[in-house]
Structure 1
Amino acid sequence: MWQIFVRFFTLGLISFGGPAAHIGYFRQTFVSQLNWLDDKRYGNIVALSQFLPGPGSSQVGFAIGYHMGGIAGAVAAFIGFTLPSFLLLYLMAVTSSIWLDHSLFQGAIHGLKLLAVVVVADAVMGMFRQFCQKPAARAIMVFSTVLLLLFSGIVAQIALIGLSAVLGYMFLVHPESDTKPEQDAGIRWGYLLSFGILLVGGSVIAGNGSLAGLFGQFFQAGSLVFGGGHVVLPLLESTVGSEMAPDRFLAGYALAQAVPGPMFTLATFLGAEVWLSNPFIGALVATLAIFLPGFLLMLAFIKSWHALSQRPKVAGIVAGINAGVVGLLLSALYSPVFVSGVLNAADMALVVAGFGILKLMRVHIVLLVAGFAAAGMLMTLV
């Protein structure tokens, strides 16, 4: 468990760039470097995370921890990956944020945004080689990329996943395999029932002024978010935005994008802002509440999903989804990752150099983080 925690804690310290970059960091660390799981199982986990509401990249990390160490491993992965951003956003909520405007800090953040371009590009290349070997899969990937570049937003993403599944069923059904399939453990109804009870109960008491009401507000938001961290903004604004000044709400959103780790830790900042009598308790309750729905659903379906994904027709559906996810990552590589990071020719030169170093020299990601942060700070001084 300690090794799982340390690995995810290290990633939680350096994983800038949002969900697309996190998927790249996870693949590079747990598939390419550590061989904790292979590309096929990793792709199945990513595909399942696209179906379920909640924090997509955190669900992938949670599932990797579960794969390695059961429930304890999943919890260790969640705590490790989330703890850095939780602590940072809590401290930012209760202390002055004047230092955030310092040019060197902003330069370091800019450098890490450029690193996110390198990481996502590497993830797109790796997943393309794994999941887009057939012409039909490549066609789905290209179609998905074009669709999401032209029509952004959660509706387009959900439509894309559904359409990719249909196209996979039509054109990518695998022949019967000689490999022995995993035993189908079925849906774990206890977790699904817990999710339903908490959602109904939380919706009833949400916003009643109690700590349980605070839990209900954030659990409800976490239950309705498809598409990642950015989509949680309007939901939280409608539930807790009225309980604080608009500029503080937007400041929390900006800070959640500036720190590493999952953007769902915006709940940490908002919980501390709302529960002024004990900001730490408010931050803790809000954070646990917004992550819990996605994790309960992941636990409910992950066993049956791995078994189902080995059946030929379901495997075709998964192959279609995986190809669609590659297209989703490729579109995310452009927006928001590239357009928010690469601002001029010097930025692009640093991205190309970093990509070359990553592919040719196999430098450890921690060294790349330090190098890009230092380069970003130096660029502010030039």
Structure 2
Amino acid sequence: MTFLGLGLTSFGGPVAHLGYFRHAFVTRRQWLDDASYAELVALCQFLPGPASSQVGLAIGLIRGGLAGAFAAWLAFTLPSALLLMVVAAGASSLEGPLVTALVHTLKLVAVVIVAQALLGMARNLCPDARRATLATVAVILTVLINGTFGHLAAIAAGAIGGLLWCRSTDAQQDSPDLDIRISRHTSRAALALFAILLAGLPLLHQAWSANWLGLADAAYRSGALVFGGGHVVLPLLETATVTPGWVSEQDFLAGYGAAQAVPGPLFTFAAWLGMVAEGGGVAMALLMLVAIFLPGALLVIGLLPWWQQLRHLSHLLAAMRGANAAVVGLLAVAFYDPVWRSAVGSAEDFALVAAGFVLLVVWRQPAWLIVLAGIAIGLIRGLIHQY
């Protein structure tokens, strides 16, 4: 139910999702501490696939094994996927001043959630000058080196800095063991399946040129070869679906616009593509939805148990302290662009963000209340602009 609530209310993209996750699982339920959560974020940043969804899947895996991981993914993903499928079928519309105002206000809510997460993680993961410096270095590298390579360079620099600077740290700041409820045999099978599908689906499609197989291959390769997730996957999906002629450019752009207006992960855009593709429909939408998320899920299942063993090494612990500080820097950059820049465009927007931040951080009101307030304000603003 927790992930279902997040799937219904988590607007704002991957960085905002990480903020919602931290509030739900670190602050409120205390399933993880900040250091463990930051480790999961750092690990998923290194893996291809939708980083925020992989973090959610990892939390589900820790809490309930493979069944918990599947439940977490399904509950977080299904709301936005179903919404996009309904819109693609023509049963709804996402145009007009009312919807525009609502989406804009929900972006402001995302600013508040990410700001709270950034503040809390900075306090816990950058408590001294050295780690604050590493976070700042991560900011600089991310700004200077665009895209995935900048993210990887920032985390790598943080890890190297941790090895040099962060060895003499109190043991209590290290995260406790995580309860990984899968065997090494299962993890090996997941990694093997990841490789077999990545290499085998293109060969199978060459031998059997069925549309459904080609679209499944396109979705799987897009999920397996993109780092950071979110908007980064769009060029891959466009090349894989529009260029062969399975999806028109107009339908692709319309779906991208619709995906901005729904909560949950942007990877659910694959469900839209399955609905509007040549010969598409509900079955195709569900196939592409599973295919685009499957490689990231297999990597998390395959690598998390091994990571649990490696993280006890003293040198690795020091590296992770630096990498965790770098994650704070990455979130700081993402908070500025796109979260802040895409949402706050006027003094009125700033006032709403300030009010929401005080309610959430100072008065400690629940995040769902801030979301409901944002929906109400968005509807009011939309009605004012409409009439």
Normalised TM-score (structure 1): 0.93
Give the equivalent residue in structure 1 for 2:297.
295
| Partner residue, 2:257 | 254
Equivalent residues in 2 for 1:40-79 (5 A)?
Answer: 40-79=35-74
Offset at residue 151 of structure 1 (A): 3.8
Counterparts of 1:270 and 1:234 in 2: how far apart (Å)? 14
Where do 5+ consecutive residues of structure 2 fail to align? none
* Mapping of residues 316-331 of structure 1, within 5 Å: 316-331=318-333
Contact 2:139 2:154 in 1 (8 A): no
| Aligned equivalent of 1:215 | 216
Matches within 5 A, 1:107-256: 107-174=101-168, 188-206=187-205, 208-242=209-243, 243-256=246-259
C-alpha distance 176-306 of structure 1, shift in aligned 2 (>3 A): farther
Structure 1 residues 181 and 342: alpha-carbon distance in aligned structure 2, compared to 1, 3 A threshold: closer
The gaps in structure 1 that reach 5 residues or longer are 1-5
Q: Partners in 1 of 2:357 and 2:179 — Cα distance?
A: 41
- Match for residue 27 of structure 2 among 21, 32, 46: 32
Q: Percent of pairs identical after alignment?
A: 42
> Which of residues 338, 341, 352 in structure 2 aligns to 1:339?
341
359-368 vs 57-66, which moves further: 359-368
Q: Is contact 2:222–2:233 with CA below 8 Å preserved after alignment? A: yes
Structure 2 CA distance for partners of 1:229 and 1:181, relative to 1, 3 Å: closer
- Alpha carbon RMSD of aligned pairs, Å? 2.1
Contact 1:21-1:119 within 8 A present in 2 as well: yes
Residues 127-136 or 345-354, more deviating: 127-136
How far is the alpha carbon of 1:206 from its aligned partner? Answer: 4.6
Shift of 1:228: 1.9
Separation of aligned partners in 1, 2:201 and 2:56 = 26
The more displaced of 154-163 and 346-355 is: 154-163
Residues of 2 paired with 1:271 and 1:205: CA distance?
19
Query: In terms of mean alpha carbon deviation, does 203-212 or 85-94 score higher?
Result: 203-212
Equivalent position amino acid for 2:226 in 1: V
Under a length normalisation based on structure 2, what TM-score does the superposition of the two structures give? 0.91
Gap change, CA 1:251 and 1:235, over 3 Å in 2: same
**Structure 1 residues 101 and 326, CA gap change in structure 2 (3 angstroms):** same
Tell me, what secondary structure is at the counterpart of 1:101? coil
CA deviations on 1:125-145 (whole Å, 9 max, x unpaired) are 111111111322111111112
8 Å CA contact 2:77, 2:264 repeated in 1: yes
Number of residue pairs matched by the alignment: 375
Q: CA deviation at 1:378?
A: 2.1
Quick check: 16-25 or 298-307, which moved more? 298-307
Could you say if the C-alpha distance between residues 237 and 166 of structure 1 is closer, same or farther in structure 2, counting changes exceeding 3 Å? same
Q: Structure 1: which amino acid aligns with 2:14?
A: P
Residue equivalent to 2:373: 371
Deviations 1:229-277 (A, max 9, x none): 111011111111222221211111122222100011111111111153x
What amino acid does structure 1 have at the position aligned with 2:256? Y
CA distance in 2, matches of 1:302, 1:228: 19
In structure 2, what is the Cα distance between the partners aligned to 1:93 and 1:206? 26
State the partner residue of 2:9.
14
Q: Is the 8 A contact 1:182 1:307 kept in 2?
A: no
| Contact persistence 1:176–1:312 (CA under 8 A) | no
CA distance in 2, matches of 1:307, 1:111: 44
Q: Deviations over 1:78-123 (max 9, x none)?
A: 00000110101111111155x3112112111111000010011111
Please report how far the alpha carbon of residue 24 of structure 1 lies from its aligned counterpart in structure 2 after TM superposition: 0.5
1-structure distance, mates of 2:141, 2:213: 41
Q: C-alpha separation between the residues in 2 aligned to 1:183 and 1:239? A: 38
Assess if the C-alpha contact under 8 Å between 2:4 and 2:76 holds in 1: yes
* Residue in structure 2 matching 1:267, options 265, 270, 289: 270
